[in-house]
Structure formats: structure tokens, C-alpha cells
Amino acid sequence: MGQDQTGMRFYPPRADALKQTAQVGRFPKPHNIEVHVGEEDWQPGPQALVEFCKAVGIKVHVAPGRGHMLGSDYVGPLLDAWLTAK
């Protein structure tokens, strides 16, 4: 169930400051990071997360038809690839 159905949304503390820092290019870019979010995840709101990640240069993947719990069938192969990467 997406946030449109629940009317709920999670915002981290000082979300406005995080967004502004990213927009002006002062947010430190983490190294070797990817973000995966479900298309129907009510917590971060995928669009806001995509915008933030793009602003700070982080790879972001939106998993179609998934919610907050991406599922082991999605996460398992990601972890396998990460654990075997050099």
C-alpha cells in the first residue's frame, strides 16, 4: 500500500536542511553507495528520494511494484553481487 492510500509519509529530522544542502552542492557525496527503494514505498516517497539522490550523485534504483519491504528475491541477488565484488 503506497502513501497515497495511507496518507502517511516519513521525513527524517531536518529533512528541509538535508534537501537544501544537497541542492546547493554542499552535501558530501558518499563513495560506493546505491539506494534501492520500492515504487510503492510510503516511507521516503520514491520521488523525493530520487531527487535527493540525483542532487548528491548517488545511484538510485526504483523497484517497480515493490513497497518498503523489497523482498529477499530482490535484495538477495544484490547482496550476492556486492559480497563477490572486488
pLDDT for 6 equals: 53
pLDDT for 17 equals: 86
Contact (Cβ atoms closer than 8 angstroms) between residue 66 and residue 74: yes
Contact (Cβ atoms closer than 8 angstroms) between residue 35 and residue 59: yes
pLDDT for 38 equals: 95
pLDDT digits 0-9 by tens, 25-70:
888 888 888 999 999 998 878 998 898 888 888 999 999 999 999 9
pLDDT score of 5 more than 60:
no
The structure's pTM equals 0.73
pLDDT for 44 equals: 72
Contact (Cβ atoms closer than 8 angstroms) between residue 43 and residue 69: no
CA distance 23 to 18: 9
Q: Are strands 59-63 and 34-38 parallel, antiparallel or unpaired?
A: parallel
Mean pLDDT of 11-30: 82
